[in-house]
């Protein structure tokens, strides 16, 4: 019986208060459709990711800008020069006379022959030392085998 009275009281109080509902606006939770700014932006919108710059404003990019300018200048200079390697070789040969070219070739052959001779000499000395060491090692092994009676 007590539960019946509690239910009846609940129904009557709820039904009677329905006509007196007061609409209050909650400033922390605005109604749907209202545009609110959650924070005040400190950087201007420029169009990068999320409408902000993709570059960290704390980074100094002046060195990079200088390198880019130098690279562009070098590319333009190279574009003005000959792009055909045969033309470049021809220019190099035209700057030297026949006598200079023959002397350069002779120096190159002389240097190559000297390096080859030095390499052969070093290799021969090293090989002779290895043969001598191996012969001594073989001699020692034979003497120890004879002493042990193998």
Residue 143's SS3 state is helix
Q: Would you state the pLDDT for residue 62?
A: 77
Q: Would you state the pLDDT for residue 30?
A: 65
Q: Would you state the pLDDT for residue 118?
A: 92
Q: Would you state the pLDDT for residue 101?
A: 77
DSSP, res 19:
G
Q: Would you state the pLDDT for residue 149?
A: 77
Structure-token pair, residue 79: 């574009």
Q: Would you state the pLDDT for residue 124?
A: 94
Backbone torsion region of residue 149, taken as left when φ is above 0, otherwise alpha when ψ lies between -120 and 50, otherwise beta = left
Q: Distance between the two ends of the chain, CA-based, in angstroms?
A: 119
Tens place of pLDDT per residue across the chain (150 aa): 888 878 887 877 775 555 554 555 566 666 777 666 666 767 677 776 677 777 777 877 778 878 888 899 888 887 777 667 777 667 666 667 777 878 888 998 999 999 999 999 999 999 999 999 999 999 888 888 888 876
Give φ, ψ of 24 to 5 degrees. -115, 145
Residue 43's SS3 state is coil
Q: Cα dihedral sign for 17, 22, 25, 28?
A: negative
């Amino acid at each position: 019986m007590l539960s019946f009275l509690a239910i009846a009281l609940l129904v009557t109080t709820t039904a009677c208060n329905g006509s007196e509902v007061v609409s209050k606006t909650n400033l922390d939770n605005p109604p749907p459709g209202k545009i609110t700014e959650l924070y005040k932006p400190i950087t201007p919108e420029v169009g990068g990711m999320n409408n902000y710059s993709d570059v960290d404003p704390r980074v100094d990019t002046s060195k990079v800008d200088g390198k880019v300018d130098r690279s562009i200048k070098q590319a333009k200079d190279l574009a003005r020069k000959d792009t055909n390697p045969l033309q470049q070789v021809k220019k190099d040969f035209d700057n030297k006379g026949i006598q200079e070219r023959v002397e350069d070739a002779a120096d190159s052959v002389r240097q190559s022959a000297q390096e080859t001779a030095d390499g052969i000499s070093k290799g021969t000395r090293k090989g002779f030392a290895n043969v001598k060491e191996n012969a001594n090692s073989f001699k020692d092994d034979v003497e120890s085998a004879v002493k042990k009676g193998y």
